[in-house]
């Protein structure tokens, strides 16, 4: 591809070539392919199911990506491609995805997934340690991809931001059923000329503006094909039921990890709580049934506003995932987006939210007539107002 062609995509030939080569070296290397192969072998048609999910994300495609899909269908309408083929054909090149930051984030997540399965998951660990290692891996990969796309990201003024904070105080995990939270915060990038001027421009998804997607995750270890989701508290009941009540998307993230070393661990697997049968029916869930790998799950969240409720503001996002402003409700919170300083922005949002709730809960001075006072009656309701939606 020449510079004249690629300038409509907002990048030079050298930048494009470097990103494609990095994808081949880190996302589609032998180790990453092996980790995905081991995962898809765990359950009948797992690879095809994930390939089908990835094929369905039409809303993320650029005009070039849509044209590529159309050309592929014309050449062989009945063709059914596997997981690896779909990844390379539709996600191996940044010009095929409308948002450059989304493409970079997906590549980082794919590589972090694979390294976790190959290097972290085999040795016995606690869920908290495994989650910490996964988040650190995502941070490192995001930094790597950001450095390789520094010039491009600087021009479009949309950095790849991946920040996390450990806020494990107050014992909130048992209150909400959540273990960690990811908030995807994406400002829509400026449309490039390649999309505006393409003959496929009318097939592009509608512009989406600013998207804020909060997601609650509960981490579980498993061995074999099933995981125990029956955790129960004598006062709060089943953790599963708490997860189902969140206003935002909530899912289990399963790490294949046991008391002895696992030589060929799968990728981290994410299963929406709604895809699990009621806890009164089954106390264990099939890990690989109606689930997907972590990287694909993040892409699904960005693509699907129906399955993943959006928050209208950062304060609302914190409200959707929190159980109490008096005690934090999850151990870790991760911010993924294309705005600098997301951690500070959400710290301010949480501060504003606490202040708003404190003002709503501030008792008002009763104003009753002397006759009412003498009778011991008043029309004033002295009970505190109900909490904001999303708080238990």
Residue 281 CB partners (closer than 8 Å, separation 6+): none
pLDDT attached to residue 381: 32
Q: 27 in a domain, yes or no?
A: yes
Q: 132 in a domain, yes or no?
A: yes
Could you give the CA distance from residue 264 to residue 124 in angstroms, rounded to a whole number?
A: 13
pLDDT attached to residue 374: 43
Q: 237 in a domain, yes or no?
A: yes
Could you give the CA distance from residue 318 to residue 337 in angstroms, rounded to a whole number?
A: 16
> What is the Cβ-side half-sphere exposure of residue 275, based on CA atoms within 13 angstroms?
17
209 phi/psi in degrees, rounded to 5 = 65, -145
Q: 372 in a domain, yes or no?
A: no
Q: 86 in a domain, yes or no?
A: yes
Q: Which of 110, 137, 45 is nearest to 267 (CA)?
A: 110
Q: 98 in a domain, yes or no?
A: yes
Residue 230: domain span: 3-193+206-360
Q: 131 in a domain, yes or no?
A: yes
- CA angle, 135 as apex, 272 and 59 as ends, to 5°? 50
10-residue mean pLDDT series, the chain (392 residues): 82 95 96 97 94 96 95 80 94 97 98 98 94 96 97 95 73 58 96 95 95 95 94 79 89 95 96 94 95 98 96 92 53 92 91 83 60 41 30 20
The tally of domains found in the chain comes to: 1
């Amino acid at each position: 591809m020449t510079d004249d062609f690629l300038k409509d995509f907002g990048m030079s030939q050298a930048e494009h070539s470097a990103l494609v080569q990095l994808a081949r070296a880190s996302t589609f290397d032998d180790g990453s392919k092996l980790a995905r192969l081991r995962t898809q072998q765990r359950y009948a048609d797992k690879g095809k199911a994930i390939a089908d999910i990835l094929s369905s994300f039409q809303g993320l495609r650029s005009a070039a990506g849509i044209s590529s899909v159309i050309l592929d269908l014309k050449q062989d309408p009945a063709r059914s491609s596997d997981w690896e083929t779909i990844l390379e054909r539709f996600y191996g090149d940044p010009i095929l995805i409308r948002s450059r930051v989304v493409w970079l984030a997906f590549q980082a997540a794919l590589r972090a997934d694979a390294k976790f399965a190959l290097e972290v998951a085999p040795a016995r660990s606690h869920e908290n340690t495994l989650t910490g290692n996964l988040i650190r891996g995502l941070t490192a990969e995001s930094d790597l991809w950001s450095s390789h796309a520094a010039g491009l990201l600087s021009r479009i003024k949309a950095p790849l931001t991946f920040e996390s904070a450990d806020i494990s105080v107050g014992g909130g995990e048992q209150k909400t059923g959540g273990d960690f939270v990811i908030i995807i915060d994406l400002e829509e990038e400026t449309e490039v000329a390649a999309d505006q001027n393409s003959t496929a421009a009318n097939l592009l998804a509608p512009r989406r503006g600013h998207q804020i997607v909060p997601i609650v995750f509960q981490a579980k270890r498993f061995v074999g094909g099933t995981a125990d989701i029956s955790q129960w508290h004598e006062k709060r009941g089943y953790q599963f039921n708490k997860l189902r009540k969140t206003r935002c998307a909530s899912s289990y993230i399963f790490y294949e990890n046991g008391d002895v070393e696992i030589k060929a661990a799968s990728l981290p697997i994410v299963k929406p709580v709604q895809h699990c049968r009621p806890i009164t029916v089954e106390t264990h869930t099939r890990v690989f049934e109606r689930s997907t790998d972590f990287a694909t799950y993040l892409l699904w969240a960005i693509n699907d506003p129906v399955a993943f409720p959006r928050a209208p503001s950062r304060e609302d996002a914190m409200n959707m995932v929190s159980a109490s402003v008096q005690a934090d409700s999850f151990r870790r919170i991760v911010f993924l987006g294309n705005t600098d300083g997301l951690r500070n922005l959400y710290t301010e949002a949480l501060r504003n939210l606490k202040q708003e709730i404190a003002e709503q809960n501030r008792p008002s001075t009763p104003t009753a007539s002397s006759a009412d006072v003498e009778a011991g009656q008043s029309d004033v309701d002295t009970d505190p107002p109900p909490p904001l939606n999303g708080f238990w």
